[in-house]
Amino acid sequence: MTAGQLIEGEVTARGRKIAIVAARFNDVIVTSLLKGATGAWLERGGAAADLQVVRVPGAFELPVVARKLAGSGRYDALVALGCVIRGDTPHFDYVAGECARGLQLASLETGVPIAFGVLTVNSLEQALERAATTAGNKGGEAMQCALEMAGLMARL
C-alpha cells in the first residue's frame, strides 16, 4: 500500500466485552457453534467474566435481543448464532432474510458490530459440516470477526 495509512482491528479478546446471542432451535447445531465461539474467545485471551451468552427461541428472535444488548453500551461487539435449514415451504426465506436484515439494522442503529454466525443451509449435512468441532466451525469464525471488528471500531 503506497498511499494513506492502513487501519485494521486486532483479533484479541483481552480487554473486550462480548455478548453471544444464540438460538435454541436446531440446538445440536447451535450448541456446536457456541462451543466454537467460546473456544475462539478463550484462545484469544478472553476472560469468562467478559463473555455473556444469551439464549433465544430461534433465529427470528435474534435481532430484537441483539438490538437490546448492543444498545446497552456494555459490549464491544456481539456474535449472533443460529441455524436455519431450508425446507419445502418459503418459511426458510422469511426467517433467514429477516434475521439477517434485523441483525444488520441493529448493528447500524447502535454502531456495535454484530457478527453473523447464523447458518442458512439446504440440509442438516451442510449444517453439521459448518458447525464441525474440528476446523471450519462458523461459530469460531464469527467470534474472530466480532473481535476484529471490536478492535477496528476502537481504533476508528
pLDDT digit string, tens, across residues 64-93:
999 999 999 999 999 999 999 999 889 999
Among all chains, which residue has been given the C-alpha cell 503506497? 2
Following CA atoms 80, 85, 86, 89 in sequence, which dihedral angle do they give, to the nearest 10 degrees? -90
Cα–Cα distance for residue pair 116/146, rounded to 1 Å: 9
Q: What is the mean pLDDT of residues 28-44?
A: 97
The model scores a pTM over 0.85: yes
Catalytic residue positions, numbered: 91
Confidence class for position 2, pLDDT limits 50, 70, 90: low
Q: Show the domains of the chain with their CATH numbers.
A: 18-150 (3.40.50.960)
